[in-house]
Homo-oligomer: A and B are copies of this chain.
Amino acid sequence: MKMLSSVQCFGGLQNQYEHQSTTLNCTMQFSVFLPPQAADGQKVPVAYWLSGLTCTDQNFATKAGAQRVAAQLGVAIVMPDTSPRGEAVPDDADKAYDFGLGAGFYVDATQVPWNANYNMYSYIVEELPALIEAQLTVSNKRAIFGHSMGGHGALTIALNNPGQYTSVSAFSPIVSPIQCPWGQKALGQYLGEDQANWKRYDAVELIRAGASQLPMLVDQGLADNFLKSQLKTELLEAVLEETGYAADVRYHAGYDHSYYFIATFIEDHLRFHAKYLK
């Protein structure tokens, strides 16, 4: 992997890298915040942040204000892109914001032409941690969190791989892509029309099917325009009630879907993960 930039921030380093991904068959960029403790040669734990629709590795890096607390806690943050990229990567015919580039949905696509590149699930679970743990001063202690489509990604990846993550959290997640228009559009094209194949990418279905318990925190703004139509947090609450799966689901009056909401509560999420990463 090649370093594209490195900028000092809160005593640590905000770095951007590029590498050739074998899982995604394209050149990918990602960002990493390394806290000051990593410069002392100490292997620090990692929180993986998965962004939402239209984002790149830069949105969270520049807007969330996470570096201050991550530097205090000694936690690295890895910020991947949200889809494969490049001229050779197929995109939505209409360049829609909710499918194709910027909208990988953290699945492994099975349908032509998407299956050649759109394998974000395996990229996040396998390729990226292996690369980062081999090349940076980080440990194999991992937490995972994200926003919106990335909240869906964090929940489903953690529920499918509970031994690999100490904890999971999400802002404004799509809790059940099977039951919302964004999910139906994307999963239908990436995975085909048989919804039986979508269930492993649906947090509500994974909990219903008996996923192992791991520490889980979910924050949702009540002024979020997507709450009723797409995110449907009540479906998560219902399956938690139904199964006895424990999660802290918090609603916040007045907050919307933006990075201003994330910035307001990011400290809570980092402190939540740090408890389990240590």
Contact = CB atoms under 8 A, between A and B. Distances in A.
A63 to B, nearest CB: 5
A65 B8 contact: no
A261 to B, nearest CB: 7
Contact of A67 (B7, B67, B221, B263): B263
Copies held by the complex? 2
Contacts of A7: 256, 258, 260
B62 A10 contact: no
Contacts of A260: 7-9, 14, 67
A169 B260 CA distance: 25
Given A7-B256, A8-B255, A256-B7, A65 B14 contact: no
A228 interface: no
A263 B254 CA distance: 25
A264 interface: yes
A68 interface: yes
A245 interface: no
A272 interface: no
A64 to B, nearest CB: 9
Interface in A57-82: 62-63, 65, 67-68
Contacts of A11: 264
